[in-house]
A = this chain, B = another copy of it.
Amino acid sequence: MHALEQKILNEGIVLSNNVLKVDAFLNHQIDPVLMQQIGKEFAARFKDAGITKIITIEASGIAPAVMAGLELGVQVIFARKYQSLTLKDDLYRAKVYSFTKQTESTIAISNKHIHATDKVLVIDDFLANGQAALGLADLIHQANAEVVGIGIVIEKSFQTGRDLLLNKGYRVESLARIASLDNEKVTFIK
């Protein structure tokens, strides 16, 4: 997706050969127009997949997921990383290990808003080692619903996540695929 790649080149900051900071438009400050373009692109790629629901994870997945939900005409659920006071009824839970933070967290969604008939699109901001996407897929499988695809805003293609997800049979659509962050430079897979 050209507009996203240009935004990454113009406003992304390469912190190391595996960390790209996109706080200027996705992870902290959010560019609503770019999010709308991203939502339209996800919708275009999955328009014939019969999606009935989108699931993402707080917080940075919410903006692209809601824009995709608007385009596809479906509800969006964001998995919470912690239980809140008003969300303590029946939950599906999964463990997610973060290689970046070297911590394990629990993510959860209510069993009220997902059903066995749902065809679900998973959306997340980044794909690196694939652990968050796998955790979200786990929640969907617990509901006996179907994971129709995984939509990623920025894929670090030099890490293992994409292959892990493809090997499990998931369809992965990434809007920007980064081949390398070496030498403080972003190189995309064309």
Contacts and interface: CB of A to CB of B under 8 A. Distances in A.
Contacts of A31: 75
Contacts of A23: 86-87, 110, 112-113
Nearest to A69: B32
Interface residues of A, number: 41
A66 B69 contact: no
Interface string A1-20: 00000000000000100010
A86 B21 contact: yes
A28 interface: yes
Interface stretch (A77-85, A136-144, A146-154, A167-175): A77-85
A159 interface: no
A136 to B, nearest CB: 14
Interface of A: 15, 19, 21, 23-25, 27-33, 35-36, 58-59, 62-63, 65-67, 69-70, 73-78, 80, 84-87, 100-101, 109-110, 112-113
30 contacts: A19-B85, A19-B86, A21-B86, A24-B112, A24-B113, A27-B84, A27-B86, A28-B80, A28-B109, A28-B110, A29-B76, A29-B110, A30-B69, A30-B75, A30-B78, A31-B75, A32-B67, A32-B69, A32-B70, A32-B75, A35-B70, A36-B70, A58-B58, A58-B59, A59-B80, A63-B63, A63-B66, A63-B76, A66-B66, A66-B67
